[in-house]
Structure 1
Amino acid sequence: MLSQALNTISYEILPFKNAEESVLAHVPRTIALTIITTAARGLAPTLDLAQRLAGHGYSVSPHLAARLVKDERQLTDIVAQLRDAEVDGIFVIAGDVAEPAGRFPDALSLLEVLEATGHHFRRIGIAGYPEGHGGISQELIDRAIELKARYATHVVTQLCFHADTTTAWARQLKARGIELPIRVGLPGAVNRQKLVRISAGLGLGQSARFLKKQKSLLWRFFLPGGYSPNRLFERLAPRIPEPDNNLRGFHLFTFNELQQTESWRRTMLARIGETSAVRR
């Protein structure tokens, strides 16, 4: 099961300088990618990188931040742009900008219009929050995911460092009749200096929001020895096939540490292979 989870993993990347070169150098084309959108940079860098990586043969899903899309016309143009580039996946979020650029205040409103106007996407991801959201009540979060699930193909969770919390949340989702497969979001093999640089590169307002939402991540990065995804990965992987939840895989937030993250994945695969050989 660990081996399967490692071979079906997906990576999230940032549309920063040298991201394309880093992906080509270190990431196999069998690994699906998502590309985030930041308020400071807007949609254009995300869409541009998604098209270039799709041209290299990667399965790519750019983040569509609803609050950055002005209107139905712009949404239609984005869909056409991605269709022409053979990008057949998206990940729809509200986005962190304080005021919407137009008629889409949240992910649901964009998903509804996308469905009504038509699209070609085979994969539509939405966010899940095992530990809730700092700015939204749990009742609203629960209602929102029920409504968004009608238009989505899968869920990717935000960071949560407690395996039991993630599993319990997934069971509750299934009990409420939401049958979407869930990919558990984990930080990749990222060092603390990189995290600080990435945070600074997001821009002051965006960085403040990022740091506020990721307090537990920062705390763990400054523990003696830093952070490693091993422990959480090993605790959650055996729960993927359990019938009472819809946990189906992992999604690594790489912060563009692609060489280190891919090296971690291959090391884990080698370790599993060695363990299997000893058992035989």
Structure 2
Amino acid sequence: MKIVWCEQSGILESRSEFRQMLNAAKIEYFRLNWKHGMDDPEANVPCESSKLSWSKGRDHLYSHVKNLVSDDDYIVMADDDIHIHTGTAGLKALKDALKQYRPPLAVPYSTNWHHATDMEVRRNTNTEQPFGIFAADLEVQVFRGDFAKQVFPAIYDGGGGTYWYAYFFCALKSGYGALCIPKLHIANTRHSTEDGDYGGEFIKAGSKLWNDARSIIPNKVWRQYEELGSKQLSTIRATNSRYARRPLPLFFGKLGANKKMDRFRAERT
């Protein structure tokens, strides 16, 4: 099983220490710099446009690595401001969890909003055992190769929230949501999409995205969304708590077709 780590950035910075950590875990590293291109000595993915939105940047990275992975391999899509508190041990825990459960989509445990105030998720995290989660921040998403084919190319052009539909897809496909891996503990240090550099039509357009994606959001989640006054983050936290209580399968199987998902993508591309 191969894992590739893909990040995008608009700044010049040393990534040597981070790359060494990935190398120690035998994870390949790919970096795109949408502002400085190949003038960034750390970049190894060409980029001809400085006008890429955040979601299209991940598209560009996926196009670069998709032929390097099989359906059973994993692609990590990450922001450039990720600090891994658990270091190489956390990356090893990621590999072990992916091998054991084979999830279509996985996320780390994060200091960000989707975990910080959710006591049920925190309780599960204290056991250090993986658990199900409905949705999370988009700072790091880990896609199984076959699932990545269904998520990419991006349906929405923009920043915050544009890949939430991947979590909706996963809930439809697996019934368990994404796999959260507590031993991979990270922090998002800069929140770089908030400065507008990554632009696009759907920057900070959460309500618009959820309303557009109504057909692929589970009915129980949507009812809670309405009860909570159409607040996306509150709905995600509440649903995460419910998903975290569910027992996981021994492993996630192959993904069959889903007409709702296929129709949703076809209508928007």
Q: TM-score, normalised by structure 1?
A: 0.26
Between structure 1 and structure 2, the one with the greater Rg is 1
Alignment TM-score, normalising by the size of structure 2: 0.27
